[in-house]
Amino acid sequence: MTKATAPTRLGVFRRHKILTAVGGTTALVVVLGIAGTLAGNDAAAIAAVVEKSQVTSASIDTASSDLSDALEEARILADQTSDEIADPAHHDGLLEAIEAAEAVAAEQAAQATTEMTLEEAEAAHAGALALLARLDTARDPLRAAMDAASQSHQTYLAEALTEAKARHADSQAALALTMPAAEQVLAESEGKVGDDAVRTALRAALDDAQSASAALTEEVYTSYRDAATRNEEADREVAAASGAVTAAVDAKAAADKAAAEKAAAEKAAAEKAAAERAAAERAAAEKAAAEARASSASSAGSSQQAPSGGSAYYKNCTAARNAGAAPVRVGEPGYGRHLDRDGDGIGCE
C-alpha cells in the first residue's frame, strides 16, 4: 500500500510548498496538474522496466535451460570418466565446475511488477540481469572443464587400447605355445593313463582355448582386455589339464614299474623255491638210492650169515611193521643195518 501511494505523497508535499509561496485557487489547480504529470511519468517508467524485465526473464529461462542441458551432459561425462581418465585432476575439475554451475542454476531472481515503485522495479530488473550474466558465465567454465575431462578421457582410452592390444598379443603368443605342446601330450598319452577322464578334460580345455582365441571385431580397449583375460584363463586351464595328464602318465608308469618289479620278484622267489624243491628231491632220491644199495648189500650178506639181532629177519620196515616188531633196536631180534637208515641204532622209526 505504501508503494502505491508514494507518488501521491510527493504531490501533496509539492502542493503544500506552492500554496505557501503563492496561495490562491489558481495556484492549487496548477500544482495538482504538475503532481498528476509526475505520477504518470513514474507509471510509464515502471511499465517500461516491467516490459524489459519480462524480456530478461525469458532470456533467463533460455539460459537456465541451456545450463541445465550442459549440466546433464557434464554429469554423464563425469560418470564415464570416473575410472577412465588419464589425469584425475581433470575429473576433479569437472566435478567442481558442476558444483559451481548447479549453485548458479538454483538461483532465483525477483521480477519487476507494476505494483513496485520505479526504484524497486529497476532494482529487480538489475538483479535479473545479474543472474542472466551469471547463467551465461557459468556455462563457460563448465564447458572448459568438460572439454578437458573429455580430452583426458580420450587419452586414457588410447593408452588403454595400446596396453590392452599388447596384453592380448602376449596372451595369444603364450597360448600358441601352450596348445601344440598340450596336443602332443594328449596324443602321446593314449593308453598310458589309469583314468582316461584326464585326457577328456584336456581335450575340452583345448577346444575352449581354440574358441577363446577367436579374432576380435571391435576396436576398443575393453574388447582386447576381455579377450586377453579369456586367453590367459584358457592358457592356465590347458596348462593345468596338460599337467594332470602328464602326472597321470607318470603315475601309471610308476605303478606299472612297481607291478613289474613285484612280478619279477615273485617269479624269482618261485623259481628259487622250485630249485630248492628240486634239489631236495634230488637229495632225497640220491639218499633213497643209497639206502636201496645198502639194503641190497645187507640182503646179500644175510643170505650168508644170520642177522646180528637173532634168528628173526625182516626184509624191510614194512615186513617189520607187519610182524609188529617196528621199531627194532640193535640187539633185538630182526634188527639189521638195512632197517636203520640214519644209523642211530633204531630201525624202522
pLDDT of residue 82: 93
Question: Among residues of the chain, what percentage have pLDDT more than 70?
Answer: 81
Asked if pLDDT for residue 300 goes beyond 90, the answer is no
* Reduced 3-state DSSP string for 71-111: HHHHHHHHHHHCCCCCCHHHHHHHHHHHHHHHHHHCCCCCC
pLDDT of residue 269: 92
Question: Among residues of the chain, what percentage have pLDDT more than 90?
Answer: 61
pLDDT of residue 31: 34
Written as nine digits, the cell of 102 is: 548447479
pLDDT (mean) for 82-106: 96
CA 159 – CA 220 distance, rounded (Å): 11
Higher-pLDDT residue of 39 and 312 is: 312
Helix, strand, or coil (residue 9): helix
Residue 250: name the closest of 178, 200, 188 by CA: 188
pLDDT of residue 331: 87
Higher-pLDDT residue of 227 and 31 is: 227
CA 338 – CA 313 distance, rounded (Å): 11
Whole-number mean pLDDT of the chain?
Answer: 83
Helix, strand, or coil (residue 39): helix
pLDDT of residue 291: 67
| Least confident among 13-17, 190-194, 326-330, 332-336 | 13-17
Bridge partners for 346 per DSSP: 329
Backbone φ and ψ of 347, nearest 5°: -100, 150
Helix, strand, or coil (residue 334): strand
pLDDT of residue 15: 35
Whether the Cβ atoms of residue 293 and residue 313 lie closer than 8 Å to each other: no
pLDDT of residue 242: 95
Higher-pLDDT residue of 263 and 284 is: 263
pLDDT of residue 298: 54
pLDDT of residue 99: 97
**pLDDT band at residue 28 using 50, 70 and 90 as cut-offs:** very low
Whether the Cβ atoms of residue 328 and residue 334 lie closer than 8 Å to each other: yes
pLDDT of residue 211: 84
- Please, is 295 exposed, middle or buried when counting C-beta atoms within 10 Å of its C-beta (0-12, 13-18, 19+)? middle
Helix, strand, or coil (residue 22): coil
Whether the Cβ atoms of residue 328 and residue 309 lie closer than 8 Å to each other: yes
Kindly report the number of other CB atoms within 10 A of residue 109's CB atom: 20
Amino acid found at 116: M
Written as nine digits, the cell of 258 is: 612297481
Asked if pLDDT for residue 16 goes beyond 80, the answer is no
pLDDT (mean) for 53-59: 96
| Least confident among 1-15, 83-97, 207-221, 263-277 | 1-15
Backbone φ and ψ of 346, nearest 5°: -125, 120
115-130: pLDDT as tens digits: 999 999 999 999 999 9
pLDDT (mean) for 278-291: 72
pLDDT of residue 288: 65
62-85: pLDDT as tens digits: 999 999 999 999 999 999 999 999
Bridge partners for 328 per DSSP: 347
Q: Strand runs (DSSP E) across the chain, as ranges?
A: 328-329, 346-347
Whether the Cβ atoms of residue 131 and residue 60 lie closer than 8 Å to each other: yes
pLDDT of residue 41: 75
Backbone φ and ψ of 182, nearest 5°: -70, -35
Helix, strand, or coil (residue 311): coil
Label residues 254-286 b or e (16+ Cβ within 10 Å = b): eeeeeeeeeeeeeeeeeeeeeeeeeeeeeeeee
Asked if pLDDT for residue 243 goes beyond 50, the answer is yes
Q: Is 316 left (phi over 0), alpha (psi -120 to 50) or beta?
A: beta
pLDDT (mean) for 255-271: 93
CA 43 – CA 4 distance, rounded (Å): 10
